[in-house]
Chain A
């Protein structure tokens, strides 16, 4: 860990030597480790220490950037020189609103010494418990357990300086047994919130119960979605349409729908980078404090999130959702919500299952891809446990299905929302999401292995 005072000194020195009209420096430092297992044994075990410094310089309305992972004074001076040289070559960008002025950033504490101090031996033992659970059940576990420290600092020549240090721990496992499989995943900044053994038990149990799946015809069915599947829905809604650039370009599911009810009144979605219930990051990559932005209120889209560029177009303030601007490709994405929450309901999973006469229980979605941006139409597969529900009870496992479904119309079909929420990080950023009961979900294919 570099620490705030060292980073501040480094960045202030770099700002001092920059000859540009304006300069912004974003520093990201990682000290992370990951233990990976498969076939009930550890097969990959890695650690990394890295720091990346992204420099953006402004000459009038010309912007150039350079990135280096070397922290010496010479390396930073070289990177600044490269950024200035690149800026000089550019035509003016009339849209560039200038670097932001400083705004007070209230710090958020999300640092856990237990995560920071996690050793390879600790990770190996935690993973070993899951492997033994699987082995004793005649199953095979695969997955990864990671722990790490992340530091982000943003400084600019207008006086912005923002610093955050946080810890992160992630665990994922897929347990396979014959033709059955189960899954578990969570993310947390506190080690105490990551119960690896309980997740292992859950995945083993799901793998055993999903064996001997029966074939089922693709059709439109009511579905109970575990939070893993809901994570996918929220992640795609955020990535593909909840940013202002997508709305400006007419490719968002929100276009022409802001203020109109398009989802169930049970659906409320917001982004909050400051909530310690998730994995907080209190400011964005321009150093702007992240605001809590309500994206959907009781089924009604309220509007997207903004960075300084998209906000300036509308004469408003950034909501603190800029991605790193020093990589030109990020400009194609625009601002994106990375800390999405969905309001909980009152139902338990069992209560939701009891409301279904004939339908499916889905553990999670896999390899989902955007088919069409309007309605946020996705295709993907189910995975790691699909069950037929008959007369309010789980009846038997069924084979995996392919779906092709608009996520916006799917959320118009919400009949119940779970009261428990999980913090998950399998999509873009993280989500904190409940289970859902949907009236209708469209499945379009099944998997069959042909003979030779």
Chain B
């Protein structure tokens, strides 16, 4: 394959590219799904190909193919240059990616047990046991148990002299129970909703999740929700469970700090951002207990790697420090744009902080969340509830919607409990809360401590055209927010 990569780079340069990189990606994904006690499928997906990204005549071009021959590499490289030259027909200025980045090395996700070495029978045994435990609860109409394992090997090479080889391993799992009543439908999920929780870890992660051990509880909760009172329409104190805090970070912090969105290049699809450049270092994003990082070096995070898909090393970056907005996630190109716009400062270096990732060989890298984390606070959850006279504890996301600038959000959760007199009391169904991003984070007055802190995995973050699904991580613990509008629909 070395010849294929070198041939692609050589042809790109011969055809007139001033810069080129090539990524060869080989991905194997294993999925297992059990529904209602029946194995719906076990599949293994093998996907392999390469993509060539070039700058020619000062503009970007990209072409890709699954045909792995040196001749195809030549054609694809030539096509990428042709596309770049077509892009240049309507360019305003030449692309500037800053000083060369020359990196050589290897990275492999550290795992205790390679999940691909575990027999499928053992994986199925766990899924079937969890599924049976959920179906054993009276009132459950449908159940689902899932595992996903991923191994991605990729080689990155560039005309600047980089040569990087990486192997990323992921393990994910989840269960869901659906209860149906005469006029109500309720779903509970574990460890997270929308299918599963996922990490860059091995089989040890699946064992820690203990799906069968948690199955009866979530099934019982789904049934109990059918007859629970609806969440009241009120303005109150809300405590969010850790996975919902992760979702809140993802949507209202992670996306608006993507500098490509800020510069408008996602305007027609994913939207733009309220965090415009003049706010950098000057805007109060949250309260003083709000500290947010983007950290691609966190062990186990779904956004953890060695180098991004521009060959820039993984980094830890401050995003919000004691409530103040201090950082974006950048690429080589957008870091230079920001430098030209604002000039150098403690927050602006002109160098990428390594967040460019592509969902596969056939997609260009975009700025994607790494692990965007709310750093842990000091509270124990029990103390936080005891310290709350009146409020609602909501957990596990059910629906999420936010406007194109990432300001106005409305999130629904699977389950809630009323808090009265410092105690968790009656169960509430269909809880929804809504707010405006900075107002909401400024109302955060407590974050639970490291004992409650989990790096939640989001394996389905959509962005880009053609669309790309990225795998991102979010370290989060339960947190408390004041004066939040809560209500219920249905």
- Residues of A with Cβ closer than 8 Å to B? 32-52, 63-70, 75, 79, 82-83, 86-87, 89-91, 93-95, 119-121, 123-125, 127-128, 131, 140, 142-144, 146, 172-174, 176, 249-251, 325-329, 331-332, 366-375, 377, 379-381, 383, 400, 402, 404, 444-450, 452
Q: Decide if A120 touches B86 in the complex (CB within 8 Å).
A: yes
Instruction: Indicate whether A90 sits within 8 Å of B267 (C-beta atoms), given known contacts A327-B31, A372-B185, A449-B274.
Output: no
Given A69-B47, A372-B430, check contact A44 B401 (CB 8 Å): no
Q: Which chain A residues lie closer than 8 Å to B124 at the CB level?
A: 89-91
A95-B38 in contact given A41-B90, A329-B195, A450-B439 (Cβ < 8 Å): yes
The answer to whether A331 touches B120 (Cβ under 8 A) is no
Residue on A with the closest CB to B72?
A49
A selection of 27 A-B contacts at a CB cut-off of 8 Å is A37-B90, A38-B264, A39-B263, A65-B44, A66-B43, A69-B66, A86-B43, A86-B44, A123-B86, A125-B89, A128-B90, A144-B465, A251-B178, A327-B31, A327-B41, A329-B195, A372-B490, A374-B184, A377-B489, A380-B401, A383-B403, A402-B401, A402-B403, A445-B408, A445-B410, A446-B408, A452-B282
For residue B1, CB closer than 8 A to chain A, the reply is no
Given contacts A142-B266, A402-B403, A452-B284, 20 further A-B contacts (CB under 8 A): A34-B466, A42-B91, A46-B466, A49-B66, A50-B64, A63-B41, A67-B44, A68-B45, A82-B44, A86-B44, A121-B86, A131-B90, A140-B264, A249-B142, A327-B41, A329-B195, A371-B399, A379-B410, A381-B408, A446-B408
By a CB distance below 8 angstroms, the chain B residues around A123 are 86
B144 partner residues in chain A, CB cutoff 8 A: 332
- CB <8 Å contact, B62 and A402: no
B66 touches A51 (CB 8 A): yes
User: By the criterion CB–CB under 8 Å, are A251 and B185 in contact?
Assistant: yes
Decide yes or no whether B407 CB sits under 8 A from chain A: yes
Given the known inter-chain contacts A39-B265, A90-B124, please indicate yes or no for A47 contacting B89, CB distance below 8 A.
no
Q: Is the CB of A370 within 8 A of B364?
A: no
Nearest-neighbour CB distance to chain B for A157, whole angstroms, equals 18
CB-defined contacts of A326 to chain B, threshold 8 Å: 41, 43
Chain A residues, CB < 8 A from B410: 379, 402, 404, 444-445
Option from A46, A146, A249 in Cβ contact (under 8 Å) with B364: A46
Contact between chains at B92 and A41 (CB < 8 Å): yes
Pair B79/A379 contact, Cβ less than 8 Å:
no
**Which 4 pairs from chain A and chain B are nearest by CB?**
A328-B41, A328-B33, A120-B86, A250-B180
Distance in angstroms between the alpha carbons of A258 and B434 in the assembled complex: 34
Q: Which of A89, A94, A249, A328 has the most CB of B within 10 A?
A: A328
- Are B120 and A89 touching (Cβ within 8 A)? yes
Cross-chain contact A328 with B66 (CB below 8 angstroms): no
* CB contacts between A and B, total, < 8 Å: 279
- CB-CB < 8 A to B64: which residues of A? 46-50
Q: Are A45 and B61 also in contact (CB < 8 A) when A120-B83, A380-B401, A404-B489 are? A: yes
When the two chains form their complex, are residues B46 and A68 in contact, meaning their CB atoms are under 8 A apart? yes
Q: How far is the CA of A332 from the CA of B178 in the complex (A)?
A: 12
In the complex, the answer to whether A45 meets B41 with C-beta atoms within 8 Å is: no
Contact call B404/A383, Cβ cutoff below 8 A: yes
Residue interface mask B157-188, A partner, CB < 8 A = 1: 00000000000000000000010100111000
Residues of B close to A40: CB separation below 8 A: 90, 92
User: Smallest CB–CB gap between B427 and chain A, Å?
Assistant: 17
B436 at interface, CB cutoff 8 A? yes
B residues less than 8 Å from A372 (CB atoms):
185, 430, 489-490
Contact with A along B269-286 (1 / 0, CB 8 A): 101001000000011100
Most chain A Cβ neighbours within 10 Å, of B80, B268, B364 = B268
Answer yes or no: B297 CB below 8 A from chain A CBs. Answer: no
Residues of A within 8 A of B46 (CB): 66-70, 75, 79
- Chain A residues near B79 (CB, 8 Å)? 47
- Nearest chain-B residue to A51 (Cβ)? B66
Among residues of B, the one whose C-beta sits closest to the C-beta of A401 is: B408
**A65 CA / B33 CA spacing, docked (Å):** 12
CA–CA, A49 to B67, complex, Å? 8
Q: Evaluate contact between A44 and B62: CB separation under 8 angstroms.
A: yes
Q: Which residues of B contact A41 (CB under 8 A)?
A: 90-92
Q: Which residues of B contact A44 (CB under 8 A)?
A: 60, 62, 265, 364, 465
What chain B residues lie within 8 Å of A34 (beta carbons)? 465-466
Interface residues of B in 62-97 (CB under 8 A from A): 62-68, 79-80, 82-84, 86-87, 89-92
Indicate if the CB atoms of B362 and A142 lie closer than 8 Å.
Answer: no
A215 shortest CB reach to chain B, Å = 13
Contact in complex: B268, A400 (CB < 8 Å):
no
Contact B404 A325 (CB under 8 A): no
Complex: A51 Cα to B31 Cα, angstroms: 20
**Chain B, Cβ-Cβ closest to A79:** B46
Contact present for A367 and B401 (CB under 8 Å): yes
Task: Judge whether B86 and A329 touch: CB under 8 Å.
Answer: no
